[in-house]
Structure 1
Amino acid sequence: MESIVIGIFLVIVDGSPDDTVQVLRFSPPTSEKVLLAAGAWDGTIRVWLVNDNGQCEGKAQQSIPAPILDAEWTDDGARLFIAAADKDVRLWDLASNQVAVVGAHDGPVKTCHWINGNNYQCLMTGSYDKSLRFWDMRQLPKQTMMLKLDLPERVYCADVVYPMAAVGLASKKIFIYNLEGGPQFVKEIESQLKYQLRCLSIFRNKDNQPCGFAIGSIEGRVGVQMVETSNTKETFTFKCHRSAELVNGYQEIFAVNDITFHPQHGTLITCGSDGRYSMWDKDARTKLKTSEAHPLPITCVHIHASGTILAYAMGYDWSKGHEGNAQQGSKIVLHKCLEDMRPRSKKT
């Protein structure tokens, strides 16, 4: 696939949802065209075609009767899985514009991830019902649950980079699974963070194999954790999304709403309730860049597989309660990122 080149600094996407965007997902690299999907709390999910110059053209829209909490593309970029607060998992076929329920939980479905294994394919979903479920999509429209794993707490965040799955729970524990040949529990890791987990993203080693994860909490802090290591220096935390100056004698601390790793550079971007995004080099333990403050919190971020472009969404995240809700809707921005997220050369 050709890389996207954005000639200008950023692009505002037309037709953003009226409510806060919970999830942004670029179509996979195997897709013929570059598509961007956005799922929102008002139950709408939209898809845009992203042209080579970064301009966006609305291609499809659907609505379901519940807030959308996660979304995931199929390998061909022709269909989207949708996880929602009404306990259902849906599949949206863009060509026919039909939406079908393909799985269900006993509580809101917080995460969904497509697993493309060496000898099987399935959808992994995590829920507030304290379970992880795996769905066989070969018998559609029949719902076929391959496996149900009971968990000690609600699923708050998760990620899959085959053959690893990492699932963050309300108890601040992270469960690690090996998906090779079928999901197998590997270990339970206690979070280094003291407060509620908000987001999780797996990173790869120099051999391009998944080896660890970064987690973000509501307390303006990120933890970097290797799954298998005897070197304690490879596991650490850092502060982020906090006010530079004191406000009424105190430092303001904001939630880390999302984390995404750059597919080529291995650097990461975080976004927060302070309305800023920051780019980091975890290996050099340095900050690469921080944006200016946006008028609203940044709720989610995603990077296209080419590594040239990122998308982020602004909207109210209820971090200041009901009184902070001015019903300002949402805004989605495309931004070039290849150079901004490139690790800096080491000084000799």
Structure 2
Amino acid sequence: MFNQSPLGTGTSFGSSTPTTANPMRDFEVISPPDDSVSCLAFSPAAIPQNFLIAGSWDNNVRCWEVEQTGKTIPKSMQTMQGPILDVCWSEDGTKVFMASCDKMVKCWDLSSNQTAQVAQHDAPVKTCHWIKAPSYTCLMTGSWDKTLKFWDLRSSNPIMTITLPERCYCADVDYPMAVVGTAGRGLIVYQLEGKPQEYKKIESPLKYQHRCVSIFRDKKNAPAGFALGSVEGRVAIQYVTPQNPKDNFTFKCHRSNGTPSGYQDIFAVNDIAFHPVHGTLATVGSDGRFSFWDKDARTKLKTSEAMEQPITRCCFNHNGQIFAYSVSYDWSKGHEFYNPQKKNYIFLRPCYDELKPRTKS
């Protein structure tokens, strides 16, 4: 298995990549995007191989096959008319959906390598999620046009449109739950059974703009709540119906101490992913680090060395053996800190053991 191969075999590490770019000595994905990486997604459990999809501000979506050795093989690429903001897979692993600033979502059929438009908004499409319900399947898209739309791929019109209070900034789906975070720190939970409808609005536990949201499951493996990350180096763990008010809490992350002036540098939390087996989580930030956490024990499991650029996105493969993360500029410090000489990277890390929950002593 991937997690048993010795690190450093089958990688191109050490030849072209400076140590500062890959301080954790992880597997490097070859032929990475030419601009900042905006989204990452591994193929679902329905297919035996591991495929990784990445969308970028270079308007392209790339697909690699990840071998057990950690070696990556570029498979194909598709282009849209604007930067890619999100990607997702169909549950059978045959299709990839690509949401773009060109206000469209396209479906990429991997077997024929063809794309077709399946959704349209009046502004850039920020999120796309495939919903597989017992009675229906559809694509959910969230946009800066302040709408959430649900699409049956056989029709050019949405089967349903929900007006949001503000622009959609982040969303996650784990049937039967969907969570949407909007501008103005709005948070709405939807239930997807029967047909999608608003379940409750939640007052944000965070004081600053939401950057990312990820649903987690309870011990019975049912979606129970979500982790919310903000631009102010903080994550909130929020249960939709908490058994105990103390179940909800926030914690600080992606901050650095010891600046000469005595101030603390605070960085944005760019992405959050939950481990599919252990239920622990990873956060990545503008400080160029990833951290692994056990939310139930309320403890940090690991923090990486700092990369030379921010980490923009992360994801786990379906069985939780591989952690993928992308290193590229996230514009958190403005255009004056953008360095076109710096390459974009995607790294793969065997992670199963590192994310095991802290044992109760």
Q: Distance in 2 between matches of 1:301 and 1:32?
A: 21
Q: Distance in 1 between matches of 2:77 and 2:176?
A: 32
Structure 1 residue aligned with 2:65, among 49, 67, 83?
A: 49
Specify whether residues 5 and 230 from structure 1 end up closer, same or farther in structure 2 by C-alpha distance, changes over 3 A only: closer
2:5 is equivalent to residue 7 of structure 1:
yes
1:127-276 equivalence runs, <5 A: 127-137=143-153, 139=154, 142-276=155-289
Match of 2:98 in 1: 82
2:89 is equivalent to residue 91 of structure 1:
no
- CA drift of 1:190 comes to 1.0
* Structure 1 segments (4+ residues) deviating >4 Å: none
Once the two structures are superposed, what CA deviation does each residue of 1:44-74 show, in whole Å capped at 9, x if it has no partner? Answer: 1110011112211111111112000000111
* Contact kept in structure 2, 1:200 and 1:215, CA below 8 Å: yes
Q: How many residues align?
A: 342
Structure 2 spans left out of the alignment, 5+ residues: 8-25
Structure 1 spans left out of the alignment, 5+ residues: none
Q: Distance in 2 between matches of 1:75 and 1:264?
A: 18
Q: Distance in 1 between matches of 2:94 and 2:35?
A: 25
TM-score (norm 1): 0.96
What RMSD in Å do the two structures reach over aligned CA positions? 1.1
Aligned to 2:336, what secondary structure does the other structure show? helix
Q: Distance in 2 between matches of 1:21 and 1:6?
A: 28
Match of 1:278 in 2: 291
Q: Distance in 2 between matches of 1:125 and 1:318?
A: 24
* Contact kept in structure 1, 2:87 and 2:99, CA below 8 Å: yes
Q: Distance in 2 between matches of 1:62 and 1:181?
A: 34
TM-score (norm 2): 0.93
- CA drift of 1:247 comes to 4.2
Q: Distance in 1 between matches of 2:209 and 2:260?
A: 23
Once the two structures are superposed, what CA deviation does each residue of 1:201-237 show, in whole Å capped at 9, x if it has no partner? Answer: 0000000000000000000000000000241110010
* Contact kept in structure 1, 2:80 and 2:102, CA below 8 Å: no
Question: What amino acid is aligned across from residue 127 of structure 2 in structure 1?
Answer: T
* Contact kept in structure 2, 1:6 and 1:54, CA below 8 Å: no
Q: Distance in 2 between matches of 1:143 and 1:8?
A: 49
Once the two structures are superposed, what CA deviation does each residue of 1:1-51 show, in whole Å capped at 9, x if it has no partner? Answer: xx5435134210100001000101000001232100000001011100111
Match of 2:348 in 1: 334
Q: Distance in 2 between matches of 1:228 and 1:271?
A: 27
- CA drift of 1:246 comes to 2.5
Q: Distance in 2 between matches of 1:81 and 1:190?
A: 31
Once the two structures are superposed, what CA deviation does each residue of 1:285-308 show, in whole Å capped at 9, x if it has no partner? Answer: 000000000111000000011011
Once the two structures are superposed, what CA deviation does each residue of 1:147-168 show, in whole Å capped at 9, x if it has no partner? Answer: 0000111110000011000001
Select between 47-56 and 18-27 the one with higher mean Cα deviation.
47-56
Please state which structure has a larger fraction of its residues in strand.
Answer: 1
* Contact kept in structure 2, 1:20 and 1:329, CA below 8 Å: no
- CA drift of 1:244 comes to 2.6
Specify whether residues 321 and 247 from structure 1 end up closer, same or farther in structure 2 by C-alpha distance, changes over 3 A only: farther
* Contact kept in structure 1, 2:165 and 2:186, CA below 8 Å: no
